[in-house]
Amino acid sequence: MKILVVDDSRIMRNIIKNTLQYMHQKEDEYLEAADGVEALEILLHNHIDLLLLDWNMPRLNGLELVKKLRNIEQFVNLPIIMVTSEAAKYNVIEAIKEGVNDYLVKPVSERGLLSKIKRIFPAL
């Protein structure tokens, strides 16, 4: 599985990657982006199975990227989990309305992250 981790914090990207690598005994491949613009560029040139996406980022934020992606045919069904500090209910509702498949509030726990991924990929 090819996973794109998008977060403007390099340390946070590493934490997410290390958590998944530690829990998943599989040969997953990870790509990284620091904002929505970089992420879109990677998505247009790679087949990505899962997008883990922060909300608050410079240039193009996570929600703006979701809006763009859901209007591009090849990304209509791309699994997206928003991983963000934004914990207010109105933020969760807004993100779901725009088309994210699931929502995880930071700080991220190993169990929380894995359970969200398993909801999208039950066979894992």
Partner 1 sequence: MDIKYIDPFIQATVNVLDEFFNVKPEVQKPYLLDKDQEHQWDVSAIIGIAGEAKGAVVISFPAELAGILTSRLTGKSVEEIDEDVIDTVGEVVNIVAGNAKKGLEEYRLMISLPSIVSGKNHKIAWPGKNAPVIAIPFKTEFGIFNLSVILENIIV
For partner 1, the binding residues (CB under 8 A) are 8-12, 14-15, 56-58, 84-91, 105-107, 109
- Measured from the CB atom, the residue of 8 and 38 that comes closer to partner 1 is 8
Amino acid occupying residue 24: H
| Nearest distance from C-beta of residue 105 to partner 1, angstroms | 7
Give the separation between CA 74 and CA 115, rounded to whole angstroms: 26
| Nearest distance from C-beta of residue 93 to partner 1, angstroms | 11
- Measured from the CB atom, the residue of 52 and 78 that comes closer to partner 1 is 52
- Measured from the CB atom, the residue of 61 and 69 that comes closer to partner 1 is 61
Amino acid occupying residue 119: R
Answer whether 64's CB lies under 8 Å from 33's CB: no
| Nearest distance from C-beta of residue 49 to partner 1, angstroms | 26
Give the separation between CA 56 and CA 105, rounded to whole angstroms: 12
- Measured from the CB atom, the residue of 48 and 63 that comes closer to partner 1 is 63
Give the separation between CA 34 and CA 87, rounded to whole angstroms: 21
Give the 3-state secondary structure of residue 84. strand
